[in-house]
């Protein structure tokens, strides 16, 4: 298994319960074929440029171990989730 870090930016209009539900959903997806080491919720931050007409977003960083096949499924879920406005997953050395 490889180590990964995934950053997601959530729509700033989503309420706190919705954010918790999204983080729980993605944690469950990762735990099906990997292991979440930690989840950092960085809160609302101003974006460097507008993304989907939003000037700010709620940042969440997932640090985890998983098989490479899981990344495809995780990013597919990011794309089909309307509340996610931007995401990036990197492999850590």
Specify the pTM.
Answer: 0.90
CA dist., res. 46 & res. 54, Å (int): 9
Distance of CA 60 to CAs 1, 31, 49, Å?
Answer: 22, 17, 18
Rounded CA separation 51/68 (Å): 28
Low-confidence ranges of the chain (pLDDT < 70): none
Q: How many angstroms from the chain centroid is the CA of residue 81?
A: 11
Looking at residue 25, what is its pLDDT? 95
What domains are defined for the chain? 12-92 (3.30.70.60)
State the DSSP string of 22-60. Answer: HHHHHHHHHHHHEEEEEEEEEEEEEEEEEETTEEEEEEE
Q: Quote the pLDDT of residue 93.
A: 80
């Amino acid at each position: 298994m490889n180590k990964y870090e995934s950053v997601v930016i959530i729509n700033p209009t989503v309420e706190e319960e919705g954010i918790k539900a999204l983080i729980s959903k993605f944690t469950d997806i990762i735990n099906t074929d990997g292991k979440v080491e930690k989840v950092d919720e960085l809160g609302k931050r101003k974006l460097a440029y507008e993304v989907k007409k939003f000037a700010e977003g709620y940042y969440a960083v997932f640090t985890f171990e998983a098989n490479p096949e899981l990344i495809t499924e995780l990013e597919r879920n990011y794309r089909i989730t309307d509340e996610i406005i931007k995401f990036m997953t990197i492999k850590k050395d």
